[in-house]
Structures are given as C-alpha cells and as structure tokens.
Amino acid sequence: MLKNKTALVTGSTSGIGLGIAKALAAQGANIVLNGFGDVDGPTAEISALGVSVTYHPADMSRPAEIEDMMKFAAQRFGCVDILVNNAGIQHVARIENFPAERWDAVIAINLSSAFHATRLALPAMRAADGGRGWGRIINLASVHGLVASAEKSAYVAAKHGLIGLTKVTALENATTGVTCNAICPGWVLTPLVQKQVDAKAAAQGISNEEATKQLLGEKEPSLQFTTPEELGALAVFLCSPAGNNVRGVAWNMDGGWAAQ
C-alpha cells in the first residue's frame, strides 16, 4: 500500500517509533530512522522487510539538526510523504522540584521538534501528487495529551500542546491531501516506561512484577500494555485511503484510561 512512499519516524531506534517504522516498512514505505543508541539492529530489521532504509542522527531538541535531517531525507528519497513525530522523553518530579533544564528539554523534544519537522515537511507534501497534495503527519501524543497525572508537568503540557498543534496542522491543510492526526497511547512497555517501573520498584522495595501490576492497576482498566505493533497498525490505517478524511483527531489506544 505504501510502495514508493517515504516515512521519516523520529525517535525510531527503539520502542513505539521502531514499531511504527516496521509497520510502515511492511507496507512498502522506505524509512528514515532517527534516534540515539543502537542503529544497526533497527536498520537490519527494516532492511529485512525489503525496503530502503537510512538513518539521520539529529538531536530533536536542536532545530538546526532537524533542518539538516529533513534536507538529508529529501536528497535521499525525493520527499518525506509520511512524517511521524514520535521522539519523546519523560521526567517525573513535582513542579517545585522540577529542574528548569529538564522542563526545557521535555518541551523541546516532545513538542517543539514536531513543529520544526512539520513546517519543513509541509511544502513538499502539499506539492505532491501533481499539486493536489498528499501527506500524512502523525504525532505521537499520549493519553497525557488528554488527561493529567501528578509529577508530569512538562510531559502533560507538551502532549496537550502537541494535540493542539495536530488540530491546527489538520485545519491549515484541510482542503489538501495532507492529513494530520495524533495517537494517544496509554502504557506501552518500552524503555521510557521500564524506567518508571524500575523507579517504583526501588522506591517501594517491591518486585518488578508487582510494580508493573501497580502501574497498570492505577490507570489502565484493561490491565494490559498497548503494544508498538498495535500502534503501528493504527499508523498504517491513518496512511491508508480510508484515512483520507480523518483530520485533527486525537485517537487514544489506552485500555480505557481516558474513559474513566
């Protein structure tokens, strides 16, 4: 379905980003990976799906590096047809103890990076398909873009902001073939959440298994993690023809978290 399309997924060396990159590659999209840590493993996994894959090491907190990445992607593949703004970090502390430097980093990586990548991707998306425009922008927000939790001020502010940016992007392109939507997962067991499980286990002197149960039990009625594969399938749907008129939606996949 996505043959001859190019998808750039920020923060795709691990977790949800890698899951979405693999799902889009399985539909034939060429992939631009980004993120820190191991690059060879993710590159090999995606190459095995028979598509072209490349990598750019942009630090998503730095606008100049984001510009460089978008130029690199356009030079390599001609155009970024699908942009998945996924890179994100977390910091957990009460507001009075929240380090100002961590606030700036969370806002830069979880929110401002999506603005920069989007503004740079839009002109080519709008010119695609003989001037009719075709593009998909998918913002990885969170259930924390819809509701709050204590001790996550920067993350909750960034994710609410990202849903606002999603709506504006959708509206500004509503008469074109470019859509923009947000995906809002509940708990997904990735390195980002494993750190929170480990901190809970250490703070309470309980096992990792007990900490995991508590974490799910506090917020997620299904008592189940959402998986990167399920999120990848939702991204594929948004890129499909059936997603042509899905615009400005914040779609939670959260085991009932926000329904409470």
Report the residue number, 154 or 178, with the smaller CB distance to ligand NAD: 154
Question: Does residue 185 interact with ligand NAD by CB under 6 A?
Answer: yes
Output 127 or 189, the one with its CB closest to ligand NAD: 189
Task: Compute CA 81 distance to the chain's CA centroid, rounded to the nearest angstrom.
Answer: 16
Which SS3 state, helix, strand or coil, does residue 245 take? coil
Residue selected from 50, 131, 191, 205 as contacting ligand NAD according to rule CB under 6 A: 191
Query: What is the Cα–Cα distance from 105 to 247, expressed in whole angstroms?
Result: 29
Annotated active-site residue 55? The verdict is no
Dihedrals φ, ψ of 211, to 5°?
-60, -40
Q: Toward ligand NAD, which CB reaches closer, 128 or 249?
A: 249
| 193 touches ligand NAD (CB under 6 A) | yes
Q: Residue 15, interface with ligand NAD (CB under 6 A)? A: yes
Q: Under rule CB under 6 A, which residues in 68-97 are in contact with ligand NAD?
A: 86-89
**Separation CA 94–CA 116 (nearest Å):** 29
- Selected from 142, 169, 179, 181, the binder of ligand NAD by CB under 6 A is 142
Strands (E), 57-177: 82-85, 135-140
Catalytic residue among 155, 187, 225, 257: 155
| Cβ–Cβ under 8 Å, residues 49 and 236 | no
Instruction: Report how far residue 26's alpha carbon sits from residue 1's, in angstroms, rounded to the nearest whole number.
Output: 9
Q: Are 156 and 144 in contact (CB under 8 A)?
A: yes
Q: Between residue 196 and residue 235, which ones bind ligand NAD under the rule CB under 6 A?
A: none
Q: Which two tokens stand for residue 37?
A: 């840590």
Residue closer to ligand NAD by CB (options 32, 188) is 188
| Nearest residue (CB) to ligand NAD, 60 versus 201 | 60
Kindly state whether residue 16 participates in binding ligand NAD, applying the rule CB under 6 A: yes
Does 166 help bind ligand NAD (rule: CB under 6 A)? Answer: no
CA 247 to CA 93: how far, in whole Å?
34
Work out whether 253 is an interface residue with ligand NAD (CB under 6 A): no
Does 37 engage in binding with ligand NAD (CB under 6 A)? yes
Element (H, E) at 73: helix 63-77
Distance from C-alpha of 120 to C-alpha of 122, rounded to nearest angstrom: 6
Binding of residue 118 to ligand NAD (CB under 6 A) = no
Residue 95: CB atoms within 10 Å: 10
101 binds ligand NAD (CB under 6 A): no
The residues of the shown chain that bind ligand NAD, judged by CB under 6 A, are 11-17, 34-37, 59-61, 86-89, 109-110, 140, 142, 185, 187-188, 190-193
Q: Which residues are catalytic?
A: 155
